[in-house]
């Protein structure tokens, strides 16, 4: 197993940063490849009551093993930060490619990505994990053009039902807002929204927050006539307000006729888009943090088992 120390990582660029952490691109002279390193300041994580979220993210990544999900490499902790080292996905976000998809290839392209997303969701659902944040920004393309689901910051292992309202409003299932509890089936609703957006350019429901929530919970879905009938049926199935009815026999839907799902799971189907060769010089330079606060021992004690992680080996299921 690779360790943080043995990788001898050095930061070369900043991939992104937010209110709860940042992701840097790091190069390993030992492995001669890039890695994505997610960093959380320990003191800020404790102060902002995000300890359980961060610990859960690491825990879930450690038990996931799918070619359609970003793979955990190792974790590390020092006096200042928590580190989650993951494989670097060279192609970047799927959303950056959507404008280049022409009408002539839209159906096949959307079907390809939908199939690989379905495989990713089936894998995490088999472990009772709800992803809860499916959207184009969290879908990455590998160097070969395959999908990788990323960012498990909102994911949660669910036994029975959970009640937390979280995610991006446009993609959140109605039962989340109704506060009656929900399960992994919220992800299938989000997939329905995503497929609708791939074909139309917009989510099915819009408005300010209150109007949007009301529409998600009550409004009918207006699908343009330009959307193929087989896709329309799948979208309506996924946007069913009865969660238990959403993903019934999803791989047998008409849209997926003549698809060999074993080939999908083995990455044997040719991707419609191959990203251009990755150039680190096109990325933002490393953002230097000069005012980071070191943690105290009692804060580090909350993450006592942080380095004790053995990632699952990626399989083809």
Element (H, E) at 23: strand 21-28
Give the SS3 label for residue 271: coil
pLDDT in tens, 14-24: 998 766 789 99
Give the SS3 label for residue 36: strand
Element (H, E) at 106: helix 103-125
Instruction: Tell me, yes or no, if 301 is annotated catalytic.
Output: no
Helical axes 103-125 vs 186-200, angle rounded to 10° = 170
pLDDT in tens, 168-205: 999 999 999 998 899 999 999 999 999 999 999 999 99
Contacts of 23 (CB under 8 A, 6+ apart): 14, 15, 16, 17, 36, 37, 38, 39
Asked if 12 contacts 287 with a C-beta cutoff of 8 angstroms, the reply is no
Asked if 296 contacts 42 with a C-beta cutoff of 8 angstroms, the reply is no
In this structure, is the dihedral angle defined by the CA atoms of residues 255, 258, 262 and 267, taken in order, positive or negative? negative
Contacts of 225 (CB under 8 A, 6+ apart): none
Tell me the Ramachandran region of residue 92: left when phi exceeds 0, alpha when psi lies from -120 to 50, beta otherwise. Answer: left
Asked if 174 contacts 241 with a C-beta cutoff of 8 angstroms, the reply is yes
CATH class of the structural domain 4-89+278-302: alpha beta
pLDDT at 123: 98
Question: Has residue 252 got a pLDDT over 90?
Answer: yes
**Distance (Å, rounded) from C-alpha 176 to C-alpha 167?**
10
- Kindly report the number of other CB atoms within 10 A of residue 211's CB atom: 12
Give the SS3 label for residue 38: strand
Catalytic residue from among 99, 100, 103, 133? 133
Q: Would you state the structure tokens that stand for residue 11, as one six-digit string?
A: 């930061």
- The chain-wide mean pLDDT, for the chain, equals 92
Q: Which CATH architecture has domain 92-266?
A: Orthogonal Bundle (1.10)
Please tell me which of 9-18, 19-28, 52-61 the model is most confident about, judged by mean pLDDT.
52-61
**Distance (Å, rounded) from C-alpha 114 to C-alpha 231?**
11
Q: What is the mean pLDDT of residues 264-291?
A: 86
Adjacent-strand bridge partners of 148:
140
Task: Identify the band that residue 107 occupies on the pLDDT scale cut at 50, 70 and 90.
Answer: very high
pLDDT at 317: 40
Distance, first Cα to last Cα, the chain: 21
Q: Where are the domains of the chain?
A: 4-89+278-302, 92-266
With tokens 């509890």, the residue in question is 181
């Amino acid at each position: 197993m690779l360790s943080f120390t043995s990788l001898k990582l050095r930061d070369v660029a900043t991939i992104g940063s937010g209110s709860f952490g940042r992701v840097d691109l790091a190069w390993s002279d030992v492995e001669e490849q890039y890695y994505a390193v997610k960093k959380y300041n320990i003191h800020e994580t404790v102060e902002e009551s995000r300890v359980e979220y961060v610990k859960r993210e690491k825990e879930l990544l450690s038990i996931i093993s799918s070619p359609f999900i970003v793979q955990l490499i190792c974790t590390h902790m020092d006096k200042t930060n928590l580190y989650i080292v993951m494989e670097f996905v060279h192609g970047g976000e799927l959303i950056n490619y959507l404008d280049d998809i022409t009408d002539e290839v839209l159906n096949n392209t959307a079907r390809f990505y939908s199939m690989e997303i379905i495989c990713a969701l089936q894998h995490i659902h088999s472990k009772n994990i709800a992803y809860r944040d499916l959207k184009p920004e969290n879908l990455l393309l590998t160097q070969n053009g395959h999908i990788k689901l990323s960012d498990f910051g909102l994911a949660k292992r669910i036994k029975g039902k959970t009640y937390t309202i979280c995610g991006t409003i446009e993609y959140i299932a109605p039962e989340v807002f109704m506060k009656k509890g929900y399960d992994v089936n919220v992800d299938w609703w989000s997939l329905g929204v995503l497929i609708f957006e791939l074909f139309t350019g917009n989510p099915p429901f819009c408005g300010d927050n209150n109007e949007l929530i009301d529409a998600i919970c009550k409004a009918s879905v207006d699908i343009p006539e330009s959307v193929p009938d087989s896709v329309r049926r799948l979208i309506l199935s996924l946007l069913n307000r009865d969660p238990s009815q959403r993903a019934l026999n999803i791989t047998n839907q008409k849209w997926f006729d003549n698809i060999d799902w074993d080939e999908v799971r083995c990455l044997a189907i040719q991707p419609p888009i191959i990203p251009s060769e990755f150039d680190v010089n096109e990325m933002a330079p490393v953002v230097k943090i000069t005012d980071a606060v070191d943690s105290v021992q009692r804060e580090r004690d909350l993450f006592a088992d942080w380095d004790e992680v053995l990632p699952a080996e990626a399989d083809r299921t």
